[in-house]
Amino acid sequence: MAAPSHQATYDAIVIGAGIQGSFTAYHLAQRHKNTLLLEQFVLPHSRGSSHGQSRIIRSAYPQAAYARMMPDSFHLWQQLEAEAGTSLYRRTGLVVLGPPDDPELEGCRRNLGANHVLDAATLTQRFPGLRLPAGEVAVWDGTGGVLLAQRALRAVQDVFRRRGGTLRDGEKVLRIEPGVEVTVTTTAGVYRAPRLVIAAGAWTGALLAPLGLHLPLQPLRIDVCYWREKELGSLGAGSLSPCFIAVGLRQTPHGIYGLPSIEYPGLVKVCHHHGSPVDPEERDRVPPGTPHPDIALLSSFISCYLPGLETSPAVVETCLYTNTPDEDFILDRHPKFSNIIIGAGFSGHGFKLAPVVGKLLCELSLGEEPSHSTAPFAISRFPGALRAPL
Ligand SMILES: Cc1cc2nc3c(=O)[nH]c(=O)nc-3n(C[C@H](O)[C@H](O)[C@H](O)COP(=O)(O)OP(=O)(O)OC[C@H]3O[C@@H](n4cnc5c(N)ncnc54)[C@H](O)[C@@H]3O)c2cc1C
């Protein structure tokens, strides 16, 4: 028997209940828009980019556009904590490690202002688990810390529903028909709204191609690695040790980052900020015997910078990045259908900024001037993206 088909009209529809779509829906509901948030998988799920327990939040950003958005983001995270009555942020501090002349490190130092540089001796004194190779320095960001990711996703969706929003999970969007009212057909219904936001993570390309838009979005499979402390607590397990980002490494242009032990006692998360190109539908189809260059790279990094950790990961999980060529976000209208708004290409650094991203996508969908400039995130930086629909 065919499933009953739902039909309804809303003020706004958002596709994708990851952190970006959920925050967009939350802001729309706050603006009293009757909003439908659609998710293809039953929630919670681990197929996208927003699952797992931890994400880094920091003020230290080399690019001024992101650095300027961070105070607003910290404020909005606090607001969500208050609304949801739960704590979502653990302050640990963060160090950016690298050669003093590295442009990313220098950019972070410049945007943080004042004197935030620690030399190797001071770093080792404060954080005995971290070793700096000769000649490298550390930039200290006291606001850095960990967002409790899964809890945050749940919180923003709960508040959205409390504000009267409708979240329908296990319902995949199959077709989008543009128009003054956009029609969205899913596996269970047909919905209409004068505005649509697409925040579909690694699946965004598949939804946009039939609308004639071919953005250079590359899904990457990321090995999320957890490394055991040789002696439990030697790195100051819990909130005592900082998050870190290592840049300017000889072995990789993409950087390596780490978070203190949070999800698993005695296991520290250390990952390469890059991965292997993948079809999100086939994420785990890795032929047996395939080498894991990221894990080899991380082992060698750990022997040098984190000698208190074992050099084979105890646990490896999987996550997806969706990268743009310049690793900057896409936050813009569809160039032909101005009531279809796109948030994509978060390139492995979008979680911390999700409250602001959601606000900007909400403002764009309401035809308002965005509260931060979206010029760096425009689709026009990819000439040729707009082609004839399939
Ligand atoms: C290992 C890892 C570590 C990271 N670390 C950090 C960090 O430390 N700090 C930081 O700021 N960021 C970090 N990030 C990045 C951050 O997590 C992502 O930028 C963010 O989660 C992206 O969210 P999203 O909503 O765009 O995507 P997703 O979470 O993937 O959400 C998109 C949703 O759309 C749904 N969807 C897709 N197609 C359809 C359809 N047709 N119909 C209905 N639903 C659909 C998907 O199922 C999915 O749930 C990390 C990411 C990874 C993978």
Q: How many whole angstroms from 354 Cα to the centroid of ligand 1?
A: 10
Give me the residue label for tokens 């990851």. Answer: 18
Structurally, at CATH architecture level, domain 94-141+219-322 sits in 2-Layer Sandwich (3.30)
Are residues 321 and 54 in contact, defined by beta-carbon separation less than 8 angstroms? no
pLDDT at position 325, please?
97
Q: Is 15 in the pocket of ligand 1 (CB under 6 A)?
A: yes
Domain boundaries, the chain: 6-50+150-217+326-381, 94-141+219-322
The pLDDT tens digits along the chain (390 residues) read: 555 578 899 999 999 999 999 999 999 999 999 999 999 999 999 999 999 999 999 999 999 999 999 999 999 999 999 999 999 999 999 999 999 999 999 999 998 876 788 888 888 888 988 999 989 999 999 999 999 999 999 999 999 999 999 999 999 999 999 999 999 999 999 999 999 999 999 999 999 999 999 999 999 999 999 999 998 776 654 445 899 999 999 999 999 999 999 989 999 999 999 999 999 999 888 877 787 889 999 999 999 999 999 999 999 999 999 999 999 999 999 999 999 999 999 999 999 999 999 999 999 999 999 999 999 999 999 998 888 766
Closest CA to 140 of 161, 109, 186: 109
Q: Is 269 in the pocket of ligand 1 (CB under 6 A)?
A: no
| Burial label, 252 (beta-carbon count in 10 A; 0-12, 13-18, 19+) | middle
Q: How many whole angstroms from 115 Cα to the centroid of ligand 1?
A: 34
CATH number listed for the domain at residues 6-50+150-217+326-381: 3.50.50.60
Element (H, E) at 131: none
- For 49-88, letters b (16+ CB in 10 Å) and e give bbbbbbbbbbbbbbeeebbebbeebbebbeebeebbeeeb
Give the residue whose CA is nearest to atom 35 of ligand 1: 16
CA 383 to chain centre: 25
pLDDT at position 115, please?
72
Question: Could you give the strand order of the β-sheet that contains 189-193, starting from the edge strand earlier in sequence?
Answer: 6-9, 189-193, 182-186, 173-177
Nearest ligand 1 atom, CA 319: 53
Determine the Cα–Cα distance for residues 304 and 270; give it in Å rounded to an integer: 13
Give the residue whose CA is nearest to atom 50 of ligand 1: 348
Q: Is 173 in the pocket of ligand 1 (CB under 6 A)?
A: yes
Handedness of CA 76, 82, 84, 85 (dihedral sign): positive
pLDDT at position 387, please?
83
Give the residue whose CA is nearest to atom 27 of ligand 1: 201
Name residues whose C-beta falls within 8 Å of residue 88's C-beta, 6 or more positions apart in sequence. 77, 80, 81, 147, 148, 151, 152, 155
pLDDT at position 234, please?
65
Nearest ligand 1 atom, CA 19: 25
pTM, entire model: 0.96
